[in-house]
Structure 1
């Protein structure tokens, strides 16, 4: 499989290329956004690793241009931009994953393989699970047509669960994705926010959508028809 790495820091780009090739991938490099966008538009890649802060054209606009062209190649943001609004924005634009620098290559590789197993999927403007609808670009969510009053972190958490609907996500992964916490003490933060999210998404409705997976974490799915 072929991966495009769009990264302007030469040492990081070389490290990524070497690591990917050692693990059986073919990798091309682009050191600026304009070149990266041009290569991405050719449609010859199975996945793109994309920085945000790039010369010429930033990563946000590169991804936005691809999605507007109905190019749904999987994109993984790898960036130092670690604020929650940045993560939300990346997902809203149609990114498949978001990793903050500094990073562990083993984790990056695992994320890449997970994305590739899912395959390229069209990033819809909305995601729907039962009567829950998430307007990704509008940053809104409704249940049975009723608006849910979510904070930015709650929306990011719900979006993460919805993008992997039916798939159990560990507390560690949730903590890293939403709060940039990669140690065990982050589990309590996850549990507290899941409790608050359930209060808004599930408590007023008969069918519950957010479920605990014992020993793992949480999953978003409709079990009413199971």
Structure 2
């Protein structure tokens, strides 16, 4: 049983098969809402804010491509899987050009779809572990960048590794030797001097966010401190 239910909006005018698919998904503990046409799906999307939309292309009132385009004008976070019998290359390219996350041709096995959904959300969970909120700054260690107030700055590989260690222990002392051994492999004098330089760079990069400070504890290490 999932502790955090994943909400799915299924939009397809094939009522019979859609209700069967809905039962399959609910048996896997997903929370599923059903819309028989694009316009209803558009209205339900605004009310429910789903995590995933399973979207047929050929629907009345508003087709799947039109609905995806509307959603993507303001929302790049929700996952969109196209489930459709339109399998031509041009249709598949159209789906991906609208930032669809998958394009699954009909007919398909429900187990295949469930496996794809599980894999996608597992990957999201893994990716989330690489994002840190540092004060008002978002640190993405996968992309080696920090973002504050819409301003994004890139980090070097070593700056990223150092900041990960600090971000994992906010408010706590991270020993110099631990940083040196993890990032450089040893605590030689030359590497110790390099660490000092990289900390200076990180302080400069994080300076836009006045709630964030890297505090030096002489001969011991560093504390990433967040103030209100």
User: TM (normalized to structure 1)?
Assistant: 0.51
Distance in 2 (alpha carbons) for counterparts of 1:70 and 1:103: 27
Equivalent-residue separation in structure 1 for 2:23 and 2:61 (angstroms): 25
For 1:53, which of 40, 58, 81 is the aligned residue? 58
CA offsets per residue over residues 194-225 of structure 1, 9 Å max, x none?
Answer: xxxxxxxxxxxxxxxxxxxxxxxxxxxxxxxx
Q: Please, what is the CA RMSD of the aligned residues?
A: 2.0
Residue 36 (str. 1) matches residue 41 (str. 2): yes
Listed as ranges, the matches of 1:86-165 within 5 Å are: 86-119=91-124
Alignment: residue pair count: 122
Distance apart, 1:112 and its partner CA: 0.9
Judge conservation of contact 1:41–1:71 (CA < 8 Å) in 2: no
SS at match of 1:45: coil
Q: Work out the CA distance in 2 between the residues paired with 1:17 and 1:8.
A: 13
Q: How far off its partner does 1:11 sit? A: 1.0
Gaps in structure 1 of 5+ consecutive residues: 122-226
**2:137 alignment counterpart:** none
Q: Deviations over 1:147-168 (max 9, x none)?
A: xxxxxxxxxxxxxxxxxxxxxx
- 1:98-129: CA deviations, max 9, x gaps? 100010111111111122223399xxxxxxxx
Task: Please state how far the C-alpha of 1:42 moved relative to its aligned partner.
Answer: 3.3
SS in 1 for 2:39: helix
Report the alpha carbon displacement of residue 72 of structure 1 after superposing the two structures with TM: 2.4
- Which of 13, 16, 21 aligns to 1:11? It is 16
SS class of match (1:78): strand
Aligned residue for 2:7? Answer: 2
Which structure: larger Rg? 2
Separation of aligned partners in 2, 1:68 and 1:112: 23
Q: Residues 205-220 of structure 1: matches in 2 within 5 Å?
A: none
Q: Unaligned 5+ residue runs, structure 2?
A: 1-5, 128-228
Q: Is the 8 A contact 1:3 1:47 kept in 2?
A: yes
Q: Aligned partners of 1:19, 1:77: CA distance in 2, in Å? A: 18
Instruction: Indicate whether 1:80 and 2:90 are aligned.
Output: no
8 A Cα contact 1:46 1:116, kept in partner: no
Displacement of 1:48 in angstroms is: 0.7
Offset from partner CA, 1:23-51 (integer Å, 9 cap, x none) = 11111000000010111133521111000
Aligned equivalents of 1:36, 1:8: Cα separation in 2: 11
Distance 1:21 1:87 in 2: 28
